[in-house]
């Protein structure tokens, strides 16, 4: 790598990104000394809940955002090429050419410093409102990556939470979905979601966290009922188009939003069961023009307790070094 960069730190930062059910569906390779390549780990795909690989692409996009920040803080300039590329196989999602660059900006350093502190938090939040300046900063973070962040009003939030709870109930009754979920929750491995990171049982529904299908897959996760915030903050990341490249864009935007939130002391969790059910049923056409292509639903807030850190795959499992590009 140029500038004597520590590739382990760059890929380690990338792998700290959130991913669907903590599947960590990414592989990195160093090519020709100055190319960092991101590929999808197809064997980590969720064929039931993510048949189009949308959530896999979003996960890899989030890792890509972290890698870019790590390169900038290390003194490099990442020149990003997103898929598709005719010279590479279908699972190659992006290649980053790294060259010497100007010093990282204070904002880049702040976002980079937030990477190890960012944790998905499914616990209750306080009723403290999100300041307007922070909401504006999160919206700008999304726009900087080519997506939009829409903070929902009270009526929209109520509607989304009700629909999410209904979707969670339908997924709990889907045998194939439940079998897939069981492979990734409470596993005790270096991937997946440990029981300690699952949400406490809410005292009332609809709750601002994913519950019914998670608890159906892992009954041991049920505990005493707790009160969640009465007025949750919910936002949606959208893109203008809805192609695989847009999913990678949305993943980068999502992670930039999450790091911006983390830097301001705000936690986040995801309500993606509604999007999973949509893709499983193919309710939407594959291409829908316009600004209303929801890619992720986020619940934001000031958590009452710190989030639980999730396990990560060993670096040796996700990083390969080679001297030439792979064959098509």
Q: For residue range 186-220, what is the model confidence (pLDDT) as tens digits?
A: 888 999 999 999 999 999 999 999 999 999 999 87
| Average pLDDT, integer, range 71-88 | 89
Note the pLDDT of residue 208: 96
Give all domains of the chain, ordered by start, each with its CATH number.
2-118+311-322 (3.40.109.10), 132-301 (3.40.109.10)
Note the pLDDT of residue 288: 44
> What distance lies between CA 35 and its chain's CA centroid?
24
Residue pair 127/209 in contact by the 8 Å Cβ criterion? no
Among 295, 92, 310, 280, smallest CA distance to 188 is for 310
Note the pLDDT of residue 237: 97
What would the pLDDT profile of 141-163 be if each residue is shown by its tens digit? 999 999 999 999 999 999 999 99
Note the pLDDT of residue 2: 56
Three-state DSSP at 303 gives strand
Three-state DSSP at 296 gives strand
End-to-end CA distance of the chain: 23
Sheet bearing 293-301, strands edge to edge: 148-151, 233-239, 293-301, 267-270
Strands 201-202 and 92-100: unpaired
Residue pair 59/25 in contact by the 8 Å Cβ criterion? yes
Question: What's the mean per-residue pLDDT of the chain?
Answer: 92
CA dihedral over 150, 153, 159, 160, signed as positive or negative: positive
Banded pLDDT at 44 (limits 50, 70, 90)? very high
| Average pLDDT, integer, range 241-254 | 96
Share of the chain above pLDDT 70, in %: 94
Note the pLDDT of residue 290: 43
Residue pair 22/11 in contact by the 8 Å Cβ criterion? no
Q: What are the C-alpha distances in Å from 17 to residues 230, 254, 259, 316?
A: 29, 10, 10, 17
Q: Under 8 Å CB-to-CB from 66, ≥6 apart: which residues? A: 13, 14, 15, 16, 17, 115, 255
Q: How far apart are CA 109 and CA 69, in angstroms?
A: 8
Altogether, the residues listed in the chain come to a count of: 328
* Helix or strand holding residue 270 (H, E): strand 267-270
pTM passes above 0.85: yes
For residue 94, cis peptide bond before it (omega within 30 degrees of 0)? no
DSSP-H helix ranges across 74-209: 106-114, 132-144, 154-172, 175-182
Cβ atoms < 10 Å from Cβ of 231: 12
* Helix or strand holding residue 67 (H, E): helix 54-73
Residue pair 198/221 in contact by the 8 Å Cβ criterion? yes
Note the pLDDT of residue 285: 47
Q: How far apart are CA 123 and CA 229, in angstroms?
A: 10
Q: Under 8 Å CB-to-CB from 246, ≥6 apart: which residues? A: 239, 240, 293, 295
Residue pair 86/328 in contact by the 8 Å Cβ criterion? yes
Strands 35-40 and 26-31: antiparallel
């Amino acid at each position: 790598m140029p500038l004597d960069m520590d590739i382990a730190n760059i890929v380690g930062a990338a792998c700290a990104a959130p991913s669907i059910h903590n599947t960590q569906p990414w592989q990195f390779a160093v090519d020709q000394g100055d190319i960092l390549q991101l590929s999808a780990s197809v064997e980590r795909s969720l064929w039931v809940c993510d048949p189009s690989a949308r959530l896999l692409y979003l996960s890899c996009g989030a890792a890509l955002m972290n890698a870019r920040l790590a390169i900038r803080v290390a003194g490099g300039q990442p020149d990003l090429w997103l898929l598709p590329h005719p010279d590479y196989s279908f699972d190659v999602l992006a290649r980053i050419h790294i060259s010497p660059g100007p010093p990282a900006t204070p904002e880049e350093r702040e976002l980079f410093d937030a990477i190890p502190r960012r944790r998905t938090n499914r616990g209750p939040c306080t009723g403290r409102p999100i300041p307007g300046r922070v909401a504006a900063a999160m919206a700008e973070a999304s726009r900087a990556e080519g997506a939009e962040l829409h903070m929902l009003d009270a009526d929209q939030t109520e509607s989304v939470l009700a629909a999410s709870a209904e979707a969670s109930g339908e997924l709990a009754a889907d045998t194939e979905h439940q079998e897939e979920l069981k492979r990734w929750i409470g596993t005790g491995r270096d991937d997946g979601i440990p029981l300690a990171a699952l949400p406490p049982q809410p005292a009332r529904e609809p709750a601002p966290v994913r519950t019914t299908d998670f608890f159906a897959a892992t009954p041991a996760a049920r505990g005493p009922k707790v009160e969640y915030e009465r007025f949750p903050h919910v936002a949606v990341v959208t893109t203008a188009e809805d192609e695989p490249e847009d999913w990678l864009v949305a993943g980068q935007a999502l992670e930039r939003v999450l790091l911006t939130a983390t830097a301001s002391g705000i936690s986040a969790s995801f309500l993606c069961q509604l999007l999973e059910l949509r893709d499983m049923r193919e309710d939407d056409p594959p291409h829908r023009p316009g600004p209303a292509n929801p890619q992720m639903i986020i619940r934001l807030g000031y958590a009452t307790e710190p989030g639980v850190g999730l396990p990560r795959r060993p670096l040796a499992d996700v990083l390969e070094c080679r001297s030439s590009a792979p064959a098509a």
